[in-house]
Amino acid sequence: YPIALSLIHYAVALVLMAILKALSLLPVAPPSKSTPFSSLFALGAVMSLSTGLANVSLKHNSVGFYQMAKIAVTPTIVAAEFMLFHKKVSCQKVITLATVSIGVAVATVTDLEFNFFGACVALAWIVPSAVNKILWSNLQQTGNWTALALMWKTTPVTIFFLLALMPLLDPPGLLLFNWNFRNSCAIVISALFGFLLQWSGALALG
């Protein structure tokens, strides 16, 4: 249940941020007039597609194929930023990105197992993943948002769209899953790591 797992991750993140807010440790968001709600709504929606489709891709494809699809996000970001913001990349950055991409491709080329549906999901995931990173970076850099404050504002929207995606992409029978202590602990631990991963990624994009 990859979408349900994504939903649990974001729900745990929301609870953790609520605790930080109650302890006055959550950074204050910029004035609402500086960032229209439509921008935050769009980012939350795109984030649900990015995370949800990534987990669906991992269910149907090998980690190697997932990594290969992930490599395609980088040139997509460069192309999209050029078309949307006329942002050019220096030759040095192009060489660095190409080197890293080739390195990942060589490291994972022996593990390319996938099926037709998995390949379609992986391809569909590339664009929302790139748009998510562009929107996130742009909002943080132009709107003076901190990573946690932006996560706090967009996570409820992401949860709403993940709930909508569950019937479409998850198989039925979620409540029949073996919710024993071991499985539940593994899910909660993965959610805690997911929160730290999302936070660190947001800091890097900022």
| Residues of the chain with confidence (pLDDT) below 50 | none
pLDDT of residue 107: 72
Interatomic CA distance for residues 126 and 47, integer angstroms: 12
| pLDDT number for residue 192 | 96
- Hey, where are the domains in the chain? 2-23+35-205
Cβ 195 vs Cβ 51: under 8 Å: no
Three-state DSSP class for residue 27: coil
User: What count of other Cβ atoms lies within 10 Å of the Cβ of residue 128?
Assistant: 20
Its sign, for the CA torsion 114, 74, 9, 39, is negative
pLDDT of residue 56: 94
Asked if 104 and 71 count as a contact pair (C-beta separation under 8 A), the reply is yes
Q: What is the pLDDT of residue 150?
A: 92
Residue 49, judged by CB atoms within 10 A of its CB (0-12, 13-18, 19+), counts as: buried
Give me the amino acid identity at 7: L
pLDDT of 71: 83
pLDDT for the residue numbered 32: 67
pLDDT per position as a tens digit, 167-205: 999 998 888 899 999 999 999 999 999 999 999 988 888
Q: Are 43 and 192 in contact (CB under 8 A)?
A: no
